[in-house]
Amino acid sequence: MIKAAAAELGFDIVGIAKAEPLDVEGARFMNWLAGGFHGEMKWLEREPERRTDPRSIFPEARSVVVVALNYYTPYEHLSEGNKGKISRYAWGDDYHEVIGERLRKLLDLIVSEVPGAKGKICVDTAPMMDKAWAVRAGIGWLGKHSNVITTEVGSWIFIGELLLDVELEPDTDLVPDHCGSCTACIDACPTKAIVDPYVVDSRKCISYATIELRDEELPDAIVPHLDGWLYGCDICQEVCPWNRFEKPSNESAFEPRYGETSLDLDSIADMSHDEYVDRFRRSAMKRTKLSGLKRNAKHLKKRRL
């Protein structure tokens, strides 16, 4: 019933896992932190053990329902002239809100069938290891670029979870790693941020630098490789052979806002705070803040002079 209801709500793939500690995945996460690969994302250091067990944030959890929503839309990035490219995931409306609203509807349906059932909705903001749970629930496998890849629609997916205090039969048919000997993502990364298969050093990543980094200037090692990226970077996914299975999303909310896959750099440089708030309301691009967008646009303009 849960899987049928999730599909009816528009989710592309649904899987179920038992709510238990992620021992192996948690150990890998701790090693990643110890290597400093998280850069300035200091919040990842706070109580990292909470990320390894869903019961630490919802003690009643017995099952984890994992959903995946395809966000691919069949448009191309435009970077000619005075344009700056936007990562594909941020073209449309904020996925936190789109998925969160649907998971709330799913929880309401579950409660109507199982009176008294309780759940917690998690969409990237809760301390959940989203990708690890997607693998555990049979959604896909972790690619060498550290994104989850599915055989159905490739890697252009958003992930969300619904923690439930209901015992559900978990999916046991997990998706094997189909990356094989392919190193397309590793070879294509211009900053060599994929330091080992399945390991990304955020400090070398264009997405991290243009979205998460709060420094007034971009790192010198990043700037020469921006190649028009204003917000994020899609290179490792663009070259992935499994994305030949990409399909247009059925979710209209992920269509490019105002038909834009890139933004005019001068408009960003001149943008006021009020204009910023209006332009990026309910957009994932709020993440980098106006100061971050202006910084990124400044560097791109310098590169093109």
Active site residues: 124
Pairing of strands 83-86, 229-231: parallel
Contact between 137 and 17 (Cβ < 8 Å): yes
Residue in 68, 232, 230, 89 with CA at minimum distance from that of residue 159: 68
Residue in 90, 161, 92 with CA at minimum distance from that of residue 124: 161
Q: At 92, which amino acid appears?
A: G
3-state secondary structure 212-259: HCCCCCCCCCCHHHCCCEEECCCHHHHCCHHHHHCCCCCCHHHCCHHH
Residue in 121, 214, 216, 135 with CA at minimum distance from that of residue 172: 135
Strand order in the sheet with 13-18: 13-18, 63-70, 157-164, 119-122
